[in-house]
A and B are shown apart, each in its own frame.
Chain A
Amino acid sequence: MEKIEVELLSLIENNSNLEIEKIAKMIDRSEEETRELIRKLEEEKAILGYSAVIDWSKVHNYEGVTAMIDVKVQPARGVGFDKVAERIYRFPEVKAVYLMSGAYDLSVSIEARTMLEIGKFVSEKLSVLDSVLSTTTHFVLKKYKHDGIIFDNDNDDKRIVVSP
């Protein structure tokens, strides 16, 4: 991958909302070239989507519960952990699935409206899968930082207005 593409990707990763016009100026390319670069990176699936990090606790009636579930799995012949991982990540309430080294195999992040909903997901959908040997559910009590973004960050510019 070219240096300019990496620069463009890190710009978009930090702010997927950036307008083409601004990106073009920042990376010193024309708007047309920039649009073409983005199209190519999307086609190569280097860019998979554009999302925002939302602090839902700030939105009335939208607060939810997040849980991290450690899952021990019996890998299947020929496909290892991939098949069971797919069966898990296809559930819409599942936000992330990672294959882990260490005490357990899969780390599953799930979001729901209530603890009860998470309990139902674990007992009715996750634990009943053939390959799943055990689960341990950890509830998130408070989000401090997510995807590199600090929640409740004091971003105020503390500098004086004019300085030497």
Chain B
Amino acid sequence: MTSFVSQRIQELKPSGIRRFFDLASQMENVISLGVGEPDFVTPWNVIEASYHSLEQGYTAYTANAGLIELREEVSKYLKNQYEAVYQPQNEVIITVGASQAIDIALRAVLNPGDEVVVVAPSFVSYAPAVELAGGVPVMLYTDPDDKFKLRPDQLENVITKKTKAIMICSPNNPTGTVLSRDELIAISEVIEKYNLLVLSDEIYAELTYDEEYSSFASLPGVKERTILISGFSKAFAMTGWRLGYAAGPQDIIAAMTKIHQYTIMCAPTMAQYGALEALRNGKKAVQDMKKSYKQRRNFVVKTFNEIGLSCDMPGGAFYVFPSIRETGLSSDEFAEQLLKEEKVAVVPGNVFGENGEGHIRCSYAASLQQLDLALKKIEKFIGKRI
């Protein structure tokens, strides 16, 4: 019998992470540096606020775009934290995680065949999300020797008449690279010159350690062409709550809301009440988690360099992306052999784009004891190969 699955989905490549997840999940007692989420539990006041909302009987739908109180808090937060000014009534939408925001943003703006520049290494969903929206992802491979920074001339080189948008993630998953304000300004000049839209994934913005974070939407003249995407998963340790948001030009947010209304209706109500508490009273918890991530980052980067895997100090997120070239193994081979021999899970760099080859992604959102043990096992593993 022929398959009923659409051709588009049949042609969509499965995520490289999925294959590795299947392999790792068959094994027991694995120390995981493969997890892209905080090891902290959601701050208790947020959980409590969500319980309370249920007790109060807030179990019905909210407005399609989300609770107005939450959109107001998101607006205040973006203004206070990142100098990005948005009207809560019509320039903000609450979504089911940042992933849904990316999906509906692309579907709202792309016509068939429109090209979207995806800055790689990138989160595994970007390119498939472009394809699912009928667009064509154009991979822009940043240079490992330039700390995977996006440079304006590289961007200019991949722009064609069909280019409509560019997707940027800073701090980046998987490299942790942060673009400075000056670097963003230089990139924005190209974006304005070619009249492009920017999908700025700022989900890791709170987790920037060494310099103040700059949002694309705060740059002069750029806000009108930017969709800022973020959420509660990373900074507030709320991954399972599936709550994100997008802020952008009124017509795009209206278009996104239309898709959202016909597909999702609204984000879960109890999660929205939790998020409201997170924004109002969660600052201290975020600062405490951030402090801990920074200490672990320092520990992990220094140890990787000591044991012989060259590793840049990333400015943000909770990943390091050390080079494994010295071992002579591909990133797939390295991750698979490490998993089988030492029961340590890391993610092969090539799943984030071909320039991620020669690297592995290690999350330091794990306890210090686990990080220490994992690094000792990695040292033993590479000792046999270097």
For B123, what are the chain A residues with a Cβ–Cβ distance below 8 Å?
164
Q: Is B58 an interface residue (CB 8 A)?
A: no
Binds B, one of A56-64, A76-84, A139-147, A154-162: A154-162
Binds B, one of A25-33, A39-47, A65-73: A25-33
- Contact assessment for A25 and B32 in the assembled complex, using a CB-CB cutoff below 8 Å: no
For A159, what are the chain B residues with a Cβ–Cβ distance below 8 Å?
32, 35, 37, 39
Q: Which residue of B lies closest to A14 (CB)?
A: B292
Q: Is A120 an interface residue (CB 8 A)?
A: no
- Contact assessment for A164 and B36 in the assembled complex, using a CB-CB cutoff below 8 Å: yes
Complex-state Cα separation, A163 to B25, whole angstroms: 11
For A28, what are the chain B residues with a Cβ–Cβ distance below 8 Å?
298
Complex-state Cα separation, A22 to B372, whole angstroms: 9
Q: Is A11 an interface residue (CB 8 A)?
A: yes
- A interface footprint on B339-369 (CB within 8 Å = 1, 0 otherwise): 0000001010000000000000000001010
Complex-state Cα separation, A162 to B335, whole angstroms: 12
- B interface footprint on A3-28 (CB within 8 Å = 1, 0 otherwise): 00001000100010010001001111
Of the candidates A25, A157, A162, the one having the most CB atoms from chain B within 10 angstroms of its own CB is A162
- Contact assessment for A163 and B372 in the assembled complex, using a CB-CB cutoff below 8 Å: no
Given contact pairs A22-B368, A157-B39, A164 touches B298 in the complex (Cβ within 8 A) = no
Within 8 A of A (CB), among B276-320: 291, 295-296, 298-299, 302-303
For B245, what are the chain A residues with a Cβ–Cβ distance below 8 Å?
none
User: How many B residues touch A, CB cutoff 8 Å?
Assistant: 28
- Contact assessment for A25 and B298 in the assembled complex, using a CB-CB cutoff below 8 Å: yes
Q: Is B259 an interface residue (CB 8 A)?
A: no
Given contact pairs A26-B295, A26-B299, A162 touches B345 in the complex (Cβ within 8 A) = yes
Complex-state Cα separation, A160 to B39, whole angstroms: 11
Complex-state Cα separation, A12 to B362, whole angstroms: 26
Task: Please give the distance in Å from B314's CB to the nearest CB on chain A.
Answer: 14
Complex-state Cα separation, A160 to B347, whole angstroms: 13
Q: Is B30 an interface residue (CB 8 A)?
A: yes
For B125, what are the chain A residues with a Cβ–Cβ distance below 8 Å?
164
Complex-state Cα separation, A25 to B347, whole angstroms: 24
For B110, what are the chain A residues with a Cβ–Cβ distance below 8 Å?
none
User: How many A residues touch B, CB cutoff 8 Å?
Assistant: 16
Complex-state Cα separation, A85 to B296, whole angstroms: 42
Binds A, one of B15-23, B135-143, B216-224: B15-23
For B372, what are the chain A residues with a Cβ–Cβ distance below 8 Å?
22
Task: Please give the distance in Å from A25's CB to the nearest CB on chain B.
Answer: 4
Partner of B32, one of A11, A22, A26, A162: A162
Complex-state Cα separation, A162 to B30, whole angstroms: 10
For B20, what are the chain A residues with a Cβ–Cβ distance below 8 Å?
162
- Contact assessment for B17 and A164 in the assembled complex, using a CB-CB cutoff below 8 Å: yes
Q: Is B24 an interface residue (CB 8 A)?
A: yes
For A162, what are the chain B residues with a Cβ–Cβ distance below 8 Å?
17, 20-21, 24-25, 32, 34-35, 345, 347
- Contact assessment for B35 and A160 in the assembled complex, using a CB-CB cutoff below 8 Å: yes
Q: Is B132 an interface residue (CB 8 A)?
A: no
Complex-state Cα separation, A145 to B88, whole angstroms: 41
Q: Which residue of B lies closest to A11 (CB)?
A: B295
Q: Is B124 an interface residue (CB 8 A)?
A: yes
Complex-state Cα separation, A27 to B299, whole angstroms: 8
Q: Which residue of B lies closest to A15 (CB)?
A: B368
- Contact assessment for B24 and A161 in the assembled complex, using a CB-CB cutoff below 8 Å: yes
- Contact assessment for B303 and A161 in the assembled complex, using a CB-CB cutoff below 8 Å: no
Within 8 A of B (CB), among A116-164: 157, 159-164
A25-B299, A26-B295, A161-B35 known; 14 new pairs, CB 8 Å cut-off, are A11-B295, A27-B295, A157-B32, A159-B35, A160-B35, A161-B21, A161-B24, A161-B30, A161-B34, A162-B34, A162-B347, A163-B37, A164-B15, A164-B36
Q: List 25 A-B contacts (CB under 8 A).
A: A11-B295, A15-B368, A22-B368, A25-B298, A25-B299, A25-B303, A26-B295, A26-B296, A26-B368, A27-B295, A27-B298, A157-B39, A157-B366, A159-B35, A160-B25, A160-B35, A161-B21, A161-B34, A162-B17, A162-B24, A162-B35, A163-B21, A163-B34, A163-B36, A164-B36
Sorted from nearest, which 4 A-B pairs have the closest CB atoms? A162-B34, A26-B295, A162-B21, A25-B299
